[in-house]
Amino acid sequence: MERLQKLLARAGVASRRESEKLICAGRVSVNGRVVTELGAGADPAVDTIAVDGAVLSFDEPLHYLALNKPAGYVTSRSDTHDRPTVMGLIPEPLRPFVVPVGRLDLDSEGLLLLSNDGRLTHALTHPSFGVTKTYLATVRGHVSRDSLRALIRGVELDDGPAAASDAAVERRVGNNCLLRIVLTEGRKREVKRMCEAIGHRVVHLRRIAFGPIKIGSLPVGGHRNLSDDEVNRLYKVTRLRRGPRA
């Protein structure tokens, strides 16, 4: 018998903390009965555990996908407003198992990872592991060197200070600038809010790298499986030891 949040993390649904939120929200059931108590447990060998009605499998091989998310898609398994989600862009047989690794805003594009490796997902998204995410942001106006230095030193947001690991002007296009910004956090609308804090509104945002994984020539809306070498590099950057399950 194991606690439900631990089982959900092991099945790759989400980190333990996020799994606790799913339980409290009434989205988890055991043998058809909704469970909302964080201390509740289950035995995957005999119990049927489901999230949002999708039965979890604890024998499913680990999957690691890269997706080039288009604008207009919600980064979640489902949406209460019936908007299209990123799950509709991956093969149907994988949809009950994998979950998005972090988030991209509705109107943002670019690299999104999906997996059922809960331990790695947690490490890739938790700020304490310091995994970088690289973005290309088209902003209004020309960004000065002082403004770039301000992004790196840190700007004050409504939920606390935020700083870029790196920030540079890639090129100027008319009255706009294309910035390359590297972050180690993933707060809601963080890139957009940081740019607004230095006086520049983001008009287009695209993530081009997540740690060592680059978007490359993956077409918009397309997906691919990560190679074994790429998965090893993700484990290396998070300083986790890769287990035998594959």
CB atoms within 10 A of CB 233: 15
Who contacts 244 (Cβ-Cβ below 8 Å, separation ≥6)? Answer: none
Q: Which CATH superfamily is domain 2-55 in?
A: RNA-binding S4 domain (3.10.290.10)
pLDDT band, residue 246 (cuts 50/70/90): low
Q: Where are the domains of the chain?
A: 2-55, 64-127+212-238, 132-210
CATH number of the domain located at residue range(s) 132-210 in this protein: 3.30.70.1560
Round the average pLDDT of the chain to a whole number and report it: 92
Which of 79, 105, 117, 146 is catalytic? The answer is: 105
Long-range (24+ apart) CB contacts under 8 A made by 185-190 are 185/127, 186/102, 186/103, 186/125, 186/127, 186/133, 187/157, 187/159, 187/162, 188/103, 188/105, 189/105, 190/157, 190/162
Does the 64-127+212-238 domain belong in CATH 3.30.70.580?
A: yes
Task: Quickly state the pLDDT bin for 4 (edges 50, 70, 90).
Answer: very high
Distance from C-alpha of 81 to C-alpha of 164, rounded to nearest angstrom: 33
Same fold: 64-127+212-238 with 132-210: yes
Give the pLDDT of residue 98: 87
Strands 202-210 and 109-115: parallel
148-160 confidence digits (pLDDT tens): 999 999 999 999 9
Given pLDDT bands bounded at 50, 70 and 90, which one contains residue 12? low
- Amino acid 39: pLDDT: 87
pLDDT of residue 96: 80
Q: Residue 107 above 60 pLDDT? A: yes
Question: Residue 85 — very low, low, confident or very high, per pLDDT cuts 50/70/90?
Answer: very high
CA 4/CA 49 separation, integer angstroms:
9
Please write the tens of the pLDDT for every residue from 213-239. Answer: 999 999 999 999 999 999 999 999 999
228 annotated active-site: no
- pTM (two decimals): 0.81
pLDDT per position as a tens digit, 170-215 = 999 899 999 999 999 988 999 999 999 999 999 999 999 999 999 9
Per-residue confidence (pLDDT) for residue 89, from 0 to 100: 97
Looking at the predicted structure, is the pLDDT value of residue 11 above 90? no
DSSP 8-state class, residue 84:
-
